[in-house]
Amino acid sequence: MPPSQKRARRYDPVRIRAAVLAQFAHVREAVRVLTPEQLALPTRLGEWTVRELAVHLAMALSHVTRNLELPEPVAPKPELTLLQWPFVTAGRAGRIAEDTSAQAADRPDLDALYAEVAGRFAELVPEDPGNRLLPTRVGTMRLADFLVTRTVELVVHTDDLNQAAGLDIPYDRQALAACTRLLADALAEKAPGGSVEVRVPPFAVVQCVQGPRHTRGTPPNVVETDPLTWIRLATGRTEWASALDAAKVGASGERADLAALLPLMG
Protein backbone atom coordinates (compact mmCIF):
# COMPACT_ATOMS: atom_id res chain seq x y z
CA MET A 1 0.00 0.00 0.00
CA PRO A 2 1.19 3.57 -0.58
CA PRO A 3 2.16 5.49 2.55
CA SER A 4 -1.03 7.58 2.45
CA GLN A 5 -3.08 4.40 2.97
CA LYS A 6 -1.06 2.72 5.69
CA ARG A 7 0.82 3.66 8.80
CA ALA A 8 3.60 6.09 7.89
CA ARG A 9 7.17 4.86 8.20
CA ARG A 10 8.65 5.63 11.59
CA TYR A 11 12.14 6.97 12.18
CA ASP A 12 14.07 6.85 15.44
CA PRO A 13 14.64 10.56 16.25
CA VAL A 14 17.73 9.81 18.35
CA ARG A 15 19.37 7.97 15.46
CA ILE A 16 18.28 10.59 12.94
CA ARG A 17 19.73 13.42 15.04
CA ALA A 18 23.02 11.50 15.33
CA ALA A 19 23.00 10.83 11.57
CA VAL A 20 22.53 14.51 10.76
CA LEU A 21 25.47 15.47 12.95
CA ALA A 22 27.62 12.65 11.55
CA GLN A 23 26.97 13.62 7.92
CA PHE A 24 27.58 17.27 8.70
CA ALA A 25 30.90 16.32 10.31
CA HIS A 26 31.92 14.46 7.15
CA VAL A 27 31.17 17.53 5.06
CA ARG A 28 32.95 19.84 7.49
CA GLU A 29 36.15 17.80 7.27
CA ALA A 30 36.12 18.10 3.49
CA VAL A 31 35.17 21.79 3.37
CA ARG A 32 37.94 22.67 5.84
CA VAL A 33 40.66 21.79 3.33
CA LEU A 34 39.11 23.09 0.12
CA THR A 35 41.42 25.45 -1.76
CA PRO A 36 40.29 28.83 -3.10
CA GLU A 37 40.40 27.30 -6.57
CA GLN A 38 38.08 24.49 -5.52
CA LEU A 39 35.70 26.88 -3.77
CA ALA A 40 35.38 28.87 -6.99
CA LEU A 41 34.45 25.83 -9.10
CA PRO A 42 30.97 25.68 -10.67
CA THR A 43 28.38 23.15 -9.54
CA ARG A 44 25.46 21.47 -11.26
CA LEU A 45 23.13 23.77 -9.28
CA GLY A 46 22.77 26.67 -11.65
CA GLU A 47 25.03 29.61 -10.80
CA TRP A 48 26.16 28.29 -7.43
CA THR A 49 29.87 27.84 -6.85
CA VAL A 50 31.30 25.25 -4.50
CA ARG A 51 31.52 27.97 -1.83
CA GLU A 52 27.81 28.69 -2.09
CA LEU A 53 27.01 25.00 -2.02
CA ALA A 54 29.13 24.60 1.13
CA VAL A 55 27.25 27.48 2.75
CA HIS A 56 23.92 25.94 1.79
CA LEU A 57 24.94 22.69 3.49
CA ALA A 58 25.54 24.64 6.70
CA MET A 59 22.13 26.27 6.30
CA ALA A 60 20.51 22.82 6.32
CA LEU A 61 21.27 22.70 10.05
CA SER A 62 21.02 26.38 10.87
CA HIS A 63 17.39 26.37 9.67
CA VAL A 64 16.62 23.97 12.50
CA THR A 65 18.25 26.00 15.28
CA ARG A 66 16.95 29.32 14.02
CA ASN A 67 13.40 28.00 13.92
CA LEU A 68 13.77 26.45 17.37
CA GLU A 69 14.40 29.95 18.72
CA LEU A 70 10.98 31.05 17.47
CA PRO A 71 7.86 30.48 19.59
CA GLU A 72 6.43 27.02 19.16
CA PRO A 73 3.30 27.13 16.95
CA VAL A 74 0.04 26.70 18.82
CA ALA A 75 -1.57 24.65 16.05
CA PRO A 76 -3.00 21.34 17.34
CA LYS A 77 -1.29 19.40 14.55
CA PRO A 78 1.36 19.99 11.88
CA GLU A 79 0.37 21.69 8.65
CA LEU A 80 2.85 19.62 6.68
CA THR A 81 3.58 15.92 7.00
CA LEU A 82 6.91 14.31 6.23
CA LEU A 83 5.60 12.75 3.01
CA GLN A 84 4.29 16.09 1.78
CA TRP A 85 7.63 17.84 2.24
CA PRO A 86 9.40 16.57 -0.93
CA PHE A 87 6.66 18.04 -3.11
CA VAL A 88 6.61 21.59 -1.70
CA THR A 89 10.28 22.48 -1.75
CA ALA A 90 10.49 23.56 -5.40
CA GLY A 91 8.43 26.67 -4.76
CA ARG A 92 11.11 27.97 -2.37
CA ALA A 93 14.02 27.61 -4.78
CA GLY A 94 14.33 31.32 -5.57
CA ARG A 95 14.31 32.42 -1.95
CA ILE A 96 16.77 29.68 -0.98
CA ALA A 97 19.18 30.80 -3.70
CA GLU A 98 19.00 34.42 -2.49
CA ASP A 99 19.59 33.46 1.14
CA THR A 100 22.49 31.20 0.21
CA SER A 101 24.23 33.88 -1.84
CA ALA A 102 23.82 36.40 0.98
CA GLN A 103 25.23 33.97 3.56
CA ALA A 104 28.17 33.12 1.30
CA ALA A 105 29.05 36.80 1.09
CA ASP A 106 28.64 37.41 4.83
CA ARG A 107 30.54 34.37 6.12
CA PRO A 108 33.92 34.05 4.37
CA ASP A 109 35.36 31.74 7.08
CA LEU A 110 33.61 28.46 6.31
CA ASP A 111 35.25 26.48 9.10
CA ALA A 112 34.08 29.01 11.68
CA LEU A 113 30.59 28.86 10.18
CA TYR A 114 30.50 25.06 10.34
CA ALA A 115 31.81 25.02 13.93
CA GLU A 116 29.15 27.51 15.00
CA VAL A 117 26.32 25.67 13.25
CA ALA A 118 27.32 22.24 14.58
CA GLY A 119 27.69 23.58 18.12
CA ARG A 120 24.31 25.28 18.14
CA PHE A 121 22.61 22.22 16.67
CA ALA A 122 24.12 19.93 19.31
CA GLU A 123 23.11 22.37 22.04
CA LEU A 124 19.57 23.28 20.95
CA VAL A 125 18.18 20.16 19.28
CA PRO A 126 16.99 17.66 21.88
CA GLU A 127 17.81 14.00 21.35
CA ASP A 128 14.12 13.19 21.68
CA PRO A 129 12.03 16.05 20.29
CA GLY A 130 8.76 14.47 21.34
CA ASN A 131 5.79 16.15 19.66
CA ARG A 132 7.34 19.60 19.41
CA LEU A 133 6.10 21.61 16.44
CA LEU A 134 8.53 23.65 14.37
CA PRO A 135 7.76 26.61 12.11
CA THR A 136 9.49 26.12 8.76
CA ARG A 137 9.52 27.96 5.46
CA VAL A 138 6.99 25.56 3.97
CA GLY A 139 4.69 25.13 6.97
CA THR A 140 4.56 23.81 10.51
CA MET A 141 6.15 20.38 10.91
CA ARG A 142 7.01 18.04 13.73
CA LEU A 143 10.63 18.63 14.70
CA ALA A 144 11.30 14.89 14.44
CA ASP A 145 9.99 14.92 10.85
CA PHE A 146 11.97 18.00 9.91
CA LEU A 147 15.16 16.31 11.11
CA VAL A 148 14.49 13.50 8.62
CA THR A 149 14.31 16.10 5.84
CA ARG A 150 17.76 17.29 6.90
CA THR A 151 19.18 13.89 5.94
CA VAL A 152 17.85 14.50 2.43
CA GLU A 153 19.39 17.96 2.26
CA LEU A 154 22.75 16.74 3.54
CA VAL A 155 23.01 13.56 1.47
CA VAL A 156 21.82 15.15 -1.78
CA HIS A 157 24.14 18.13 -1.48
CA THR A 158 27.06 15.99 -0.31
CA ASP A 159 26.69 14.21 -3.62
CA ASP A 160 26.59 17.59 -5.40
CA LEU A 161 29.75 18.64 -3.57
CA ASN A 162 31.55 15.41 -4.42
CA GLN A 163 30.67 15.85 -8.09
CA ALA A 164 31.63 19.52 -8.29
CA ALA A 165 34.93 19.42 -6.43
CA GLY A 166 36.08 15.90 -7.26
CA LEU A 167 35.77 14.78 -3.64
CA ASP A 168 34.89 11.49 -1.98
CA ILE A 169 33.02 12.62 1.12
CA PRO A 170 31.56 9.53 2.82
CA TYR A 171 27.88 9.04 3.57
CA ASP A 172 26.72 8.21 7.05
CA ARG A 173 24.78 4.95 6.69
CA GLN A 174 21.80 6.09 8.75
CA ALA A 175 21.57 9.40 6.88
CA LEU A 176 21.76 7.63 3.51
CA ALA A 177 19.10 5.14 4.61
CA ALA A 178 16.68 7.81 5.80
CA CYS A 179 17.13 9.86 2.64
CA THR A 180 16.58 6.80 0.43
CA ARG A 181 13.49 5.69 2.33
CA LEU A 182 11.82 9.08 2.38
CA LEU A 183 12.26 9.53 -1.37
CA ALA A 184 11.06 5.98 -2.06
CA ASP A 185 7.97 6.57 0.07
CA ALA A 186 7.41 9.85 -1.77
CA LEU A 187 7.25 7.91 -5.05
CA ALA A 188 4.60 5.61 -3.58
CA GLU A 189 2.73 8.69 -2.36
CA LYS A 190 2.86 10.31 -5.82
CA ALA A 191 1.84 7.16 -7.71
CA PRO A 192 -0.15 4.96 -5.31
CA GLY A 193 -0.76 1.39 -6.35
CA GLY A 194 0.74 -2.06 -6.27
CA SER A 195 1.68 -3.03 -9.81
CA VAL A 196 5.36 -2.01 -9.67
CA GLU A 197 7.86 -2.92 -6.98
CA VAL A 198 10.75 -0.50 -6.57
CA ARG A 199 13.76 -1.92 -4.76
CA VAL A 200 16.63 0.17 -3.46
CA PRO A 201 18.70 -2.33 -1.48
CA PRO A 202 19.58 -2.44 1.29
CA PHE A 203 17.31 0.35 2.47
CA ALA A 204 13.90 0.44 0.79
CA VAL A 205 11.23 -1.51 -1.07
CA VAL A 206 7.96 0.15 -2.07
CA GLN A 207 5.06 -0.69 -4.34
CA CYS A 208 3.54 1.95 -6.58
CA VAL A 209 1.62 2.65 -9.82
CA GLN A 210 -1.98 1.67 -10.33
CA GLY A 211 -2.72 -1.64 -12.01
CA PRO A 212 -2.92 -5.32 -11.13
CA ARG A 213 -1.60 -5.80 -7.63
CA HIS A 214 1.17 -8.28 -6.97
CA THR A 215 0.61 -10.57 -3.97
CA ARG A 216 3.15 -13.42 -4.08
CA GLY A 217 6.15 -14.73 -5.98
CA THR A 218 8.29 -12.59 -8.26
CA PRO A 219 6.53 -9.31 -9.15
CA PRO A 220 5.89 -8.87 -12.89
CA ASN A 221 7.13 -5.25 -12.80
CA VAL A 222 10.33 -4.55 -10.90
CA VAL A 223 12.68 -1.57 -10.73
CA GLU A 224 15.96 -1.95 -8.85
CA THR A 225 18.83 0.45 -8.31
CA ASP A 226 21.38 1.53 -5.72
CA PRO A 227 20.71 4.28 -3.15
CA LEU A 228 22.75 7.06 -4.75
CA THR A 229 21.35 6.42 -8.22
CA TRP A 230 17.84 6.44 -6.77
CA ILE A 231 18.49 9.72 -4.95
CA ARG A 232 19.87 11.27 -8.14
CA LEU A 233 16.81 10.13 -10.08
CA ALA A 234 14.41 11.39 -7.44
CA THR A 235 16.04 14.82 -7.32
CA GLY A 236 16.64 15.31 -11.03
CA ARG A 237 20.42 14.87 -10.95
CA THR A 238 20.14 11.88 -13.30
CA GLU A 239 17.59 11.20 -16.03
CA TRP A 240 15.77 7.88 -16.20
CA ALA A 241 16.95 7.08 -19.73
CA SER A 242 20.57 7.86 -18.87
CA ALA A 243 20.48 5.63 -15.80
CA LEU A 244 19.03 2.78 -17.86
CA ASP A 245 21.64 3.22 -20.60
CA ALA A 246 24.43 3.18 -18.01
CA ALA A 247 22.99 0.02 -16.42
CA LYS A 248 22.52 1.89 -13.14
CA VAL A 249 18.85 0.85 -13.09
CA GLY A 250 17.26 -2.50 -13.81
CA ALA A 251 13.65 -2.33 -15.01
CA SER A 252 11.58 -5.35 -16.01
CA GLY A 253 7.92 -5.46 -16.97
CA GLU A 254 5.69 -3.32 -19.16
CA ARG A 255 4.83 -0.95 -16.31
CA ALA A 256 8.37 -0.57 -14.97
CA ASP A 257 9.04 2.79 -16.60
CA LEU A 258 9.22 5.58 -14.03
CA ALA A 259 10.31 8.34 -16.42
CA ALA A 260 6.99 10.17 -16.22
CA LEU A 261 7.06 10.16 -12.41
CA LEU A 262 10.58 11.55 -11.95
CA PRO A 263 12.01 13.69 -10.56
CA LEU A 264 10.09 13.92 -7.30
CA MET A 265 12.03 16.97 -6.11
CA GLY A 266 13.55 19.75 -8.16
Domain CATH number, residue 123: 1.20.120.450
Region 91-120: mean pLDDT is: 77
pLDDT tens-digit series, residues 136-194: 988 899 999 999 999 999 999 999 999 999 999 999 999 999 999 999 999 999 999 99
**Average pLDDT over all residues of the chain:** 91
Q: What is the pTM of this model?
A: 0.92
Split into its structural domains, the chain has a count of: 2
Residue 89 pLDDT level (bands cut at 50, 70, 90): confident
Q: Which domain holds residue 148?
A: 3-176
Q: Are residues 81 and 162 in the same domain?
A: yes
Element counts in the chain: helices (H) and strands (E): 9, 6
Distance, CA of 189 to CA of 19 (rounded, Å): 25
pLDDT tens-digit series, residues 211-230: 876 566 667 899 999 999 99
Residue 266 domain flag: no
Where do the DSSP E strands lie in 23-145?
A: 133-134, 141-142
Q: Are residues 130 and 189 in the same domain?
A: no
**CATH for 252:** 3.30.1050.40
Spatial contact of 212 and 195, defined as CB atoms under 8 Å apart: yes
Q: Buried b vs exposed e over 15-35: b needs ≥16 C-beta within 10 Å?
A: ebbebbbbbbebbbebbeebe
Phi, psi (5° rounding) for residue 250? Answer: -105, 130
Of 115, 147, 176, the one marking the end of a domain is 176
Taking CA atoms, 131 is separated from 66, 128, 134, 145, in Å, by 18, 9, 10, 10
Spatial contact of 43 and 160, defined as CB atoms under 8 Å apart: yes
Q: Are residues 218 and 146 in the same domain?
A: no
